[in-house]
Amino acid sequence: MRTFTLALVALVALAGCARREAAGWQGYLEGEYVYVASPIAGRLEKLFVDKGARVDPGVPLFALDDSSESDARREAAGRLASSLARLEDLRKGARPTEIAGLTARLQKARAAAELSRLDLARQEGLFRDGAISQSDYDHARLAHEEDERAVDGLASDLETGRLGGRGDAVAAAEADVKAAQGALAAADWRVGQKTQAAPCGALVFDTLYREGEFVAAGSPVVALLPPANVKVRFFVPEEEFGAVQPGERVNVALSAGGTLLEGRVSYLSPQPEYTPPVLYNRDNRAKLVYMVEAEFPGGAGRNLHPGEPAYVIPAAP
């Protein structure tokens, strides 16, 4: 028994020496998740991915029921078609048959005006010779003036018919078209938001709903973990914190194996804290430490697991 006790004391002493000589810090792996949600509520119609799968950018993740949004889009498309048709009709002016009718009436009016002009010329000669009265001459003169006014009126009607709708009516129709286009774009957006795709290549860390369940607006359905979002979070004692610099290289040893991973310091907390309970031991208990984070460049965190304990060692200069 005495021999076993002496051996145990020796091992503890060696372990204590090794801890004091090692220049490193304890920590764990941390993941920053990307939560994919739809801004519009609906029933989860289809979940395209499984938990633990890896997806590429643009791969569909899930789809919500879009029957209501699709109906609204069809209605908006119909309103836009109606507005465009109304605007085109205003721009065209009168129909060809209406233009032809106005042209024929104008030609008839011109013929009548020419006939009344010839009659007026005859009546004027007779009036000078005293063959007709003043009243007869005035009737001929006024008839010719009326025929000329009819020609001018029909010519204006024909020109107006060729011009199309009035400027204010066309402007109002154009505004209706723009409003209808905006409504259709909004309807398209709402339909599109019912299906969400992966914004980046990542691990499907978790799926939070099952098919058939109702999903509230903005509620995440899939949690993604991109490789670049896996980092190591470790705690540096107060007396050693000043030596750690942003961008500094560190080596990270995991409990799963002896391979060292390279990381770079990306964040240094400005606030001290007491050693987290998970790191309590005889040497660091109740000490002030600073939280530091380091990223794994080049997607080296692809196969790492958040929560895994880690030991961080400063890289050799």
* Residue ranges making up the domain that contains 210: 35-66+192-225
**Would you call 226 helix, strand, or coil by DSSP?**
coil
- Dihedral class, residue 130 (left if φ above 0, else alpha if ψ from -120 to 50, else beta): left
Q: Please tell me the distance from the alpha carbon of residue 292 to that of residue 137, in angstroms, as a whole number.
A: 113
pLDDT value at residue 94: 63
Q: What is the DSSP letter of 33?
A: -
Residue 9 pLDDT: 35
How many structural domains compose the chain?
3
- Judge whether 278 lies within some domain: yes
**Residues 205 and 56 grouped into a single domain:** yes
pLDDT value at residue 109? 82
DSSP characters over 81-118:
HHHHHHHHHHHH-S-HHHHHHHHHHHHHHHHHHHHHHH
Q: pLDDT digits over 2-18, tens only? A: 333 333 333 333 334 43
Q: How far apart are CA 235 and CA 237, in angstroms?
A: 7
Q: Compute the distance between CA of residue 13 and CA of residue 20 in angstroms, rounded to an integer.
A: 11
Over residues 35-60, the mean pLDDT reads 96
> Is residue 7 a part of any domain in this protein?
no
Question: Is residue 243 domain-shared with residue 276, that is, in the same domain?
Answer: yes
Q: Are residues 230 and 302 in the same domain?
A: yes
Same domain, 60 and 80: no
**Segment of 21-25, 102-106, 284-288 carrying the highest mean pLDDT:** 102-106
For residue 125, being part of any structural domain is answered with yes
How high is the pLDDT of residue 279? 59
Give the tens place of pLDDT for each residue, 235-292.
999 888 988 999 999 999 986 556 789 999 999 999 888 777 655 555 555 578 899 9
**pLDDT mean over 61-67:** 96
Residue 16 lies in a domain: no
Residues 39 and 28 in one domain: no
Q: What is the CATH number of the domain that holds 255?
A: 2.40.30.170
3-state class (DSSP) for residue 233: strand
Give dist(CA 236, CA 57) in Å, integer: 36
